Structure 1
């Protein structure tokens, strides 16, 4: 069985977490630091990550969170991110692809610019970070690394809501399995997707606005950020001969 004690092998190793400034990404950063990892947290809002880093440092933990400003939709910025990690921390041992976003527009409303922006973050940025992380691991002979893609239940069923976002998450489902098949031919690096249902974060607030999101969250069951963090720790702490490949996690009362 996986347990938090299985996390001891990750102490003093390097994790990259994208979308690290709020919500699930911020929670993942804090947990990995608490387990003794050096975490490079990246997002467009570096100041928010710096605040999280300061709060964690005040706790006197052995791990640390290093803020880095990066837009994963920009290939040059991603290249610079990995060059920074290699120069200052050796390379990536764990990559958590958490960055993602949606707009509220329907398929009949969304324009090409909005579609490309969503694809660049949710799909292209994810592939770039996974690719560069695996290459970093292979170049250093790290064969016990881990790629974790934060997917969504939207990547497994079509609700009729946020349909272009859903399409990007179906892509992540396919990419996760494709990556596993490519990696297993070269290494024992593990690949995991975590697909949450409704989570009480600012994700919905950004899409439909503060008031509507608050009303929506009052009427549905939701997962907490900690639920998703616990799932990630479960996958990371599994025995090395065991690959937790796909975790689908819904609130108990969620119908779809």
Structure 2
């Protein structure tokens, strides 16, 4: 895939992995709509990138991925500004295991991906007048691990993203819509999700010590490595692919079971 002069819409673009996605996309000649619920921070970042890449190549858009109208308006704003859309990166995500706000994890991590994918098919799919394109979801290596009983909400949403991507990314879907759909599963990455005291974020507080010890056994990779991997996946990936990026290494295809029917 030749990336030069393509247009990408990226959710959760104002920090962490999303920020690095945008940085690498711009470096490779892609025009980028930075979409985030924090419009002020998003605009500040876009102002900085515009100095290097030009104002015509970047756009800041308010986007709440849990709200259908807000999310679709982000798509419309991107297309109005750049006159087309080629790539959608469903990256927005949170980590929240609390009794009070567990539903936000479901609504953002999984619901946001499904909304973003459906909008991508609507605006890029050939049956609706689009010219085709690519969708990449940010899942997590946590969604591929078995026999791990910590962070059940986060892990299950990321596993759901993996399975949703495998299903909707089936080649028959691609043949109909001409939209390639893939997922990227970062390993433990140094992002804002890992900052601060996380005791309150575990459903059972006594699990915190075990969870912390578990996480400490895995080296953190830089978010830049995930941003760089995105470019390789966009250039080489096939629809339905699930890619793993960990330990600052090159991306590799996940070893997942395949069933014929």
With the shorter chain as reference, the TM-score category is: 0.7 to 0.9
How big is each residue's C-alpha offset from its partner over 1:155-201, in whole Å with a ceiling of 9 and x where there is no partner? 11142221111111111011101111262241442111110110011
C-alpha distance in structure 2 between counterparts of 1:68 and 1:150, whole Å:
19
Cα contact 2:169–2:239 (8 A) shared by 1: no
- Residue 150 of structure 1, CA deviation: 0.6
Aligned to 1:3: none
C-alpha distance in structure 2 between counterparts of 1:121 and 1:36, whole Å:
29
C-alpha distance in structure 2 between counterparts of 1:156 and 1:149, whole Å:
14
Aligned to 1:146: 134
Aligned to 1:164: 153
- Residue 63 of structure 1, CA deviation: 6.8
1:23 and 2:16 correspond: yes
- Residue 135 of structure 1, CA deviation: 1.6
Structure 1 residues 35 and 250: alpha-carbon distance in aligned structure 2, compared to 1, 3 A threshold: closer
Structure 1 residues 77 and 191: alpha-carbon distance in aligned structure 2, compared to 1, 3 A threshold: same
Aligned to 1:251: 247
- Residue 206 of structure 1, CA deviation: 5.6
Structure 1 residues 47 and 36: alpha-carbon distance in aligned structure 2, compared to 1, 3 A threshold: same
C-alpha distance in structure 1 between counterparts of 2:120 and 2:173, whole Å:
11
Within the candidate set 133, 136, 140, 2:120 is matched to: 133
- Residue 92 of structure 1, CA deviation: 2.3
Aligned to 2:85: 92
- Unpaired runs of 5+ residues, structure 2, are 200-207, 250-261
Structure 1 residues 186 and 87: alpha-carbon distance in aligned structure 2, compared to 1, 3 A threshold: same
How big is each residue's C-alpha offset from its partner over 1:130-157, in whole Å with a ceiling of 9 and x where there is no partner? 11112211233413x1100010011111
- Residue 222 of structure 1, CA deviation: 1.0
Question: Counterpart of 2:169 in 1: which secondary structure?
Answer: helix
Question: Counterpart of 1:147 in 2: which secondary structure?
Answer: strand
TM-score (normalizing by structure 1) = 0.81
1:75 and 2:31 correspond: no
Within the candidate set 86, 107, 113, 1:120 is matched to: 107
Aligned to 1:228: 226
- Unpaired runs of 5+ residues, structure 1, are 1-5
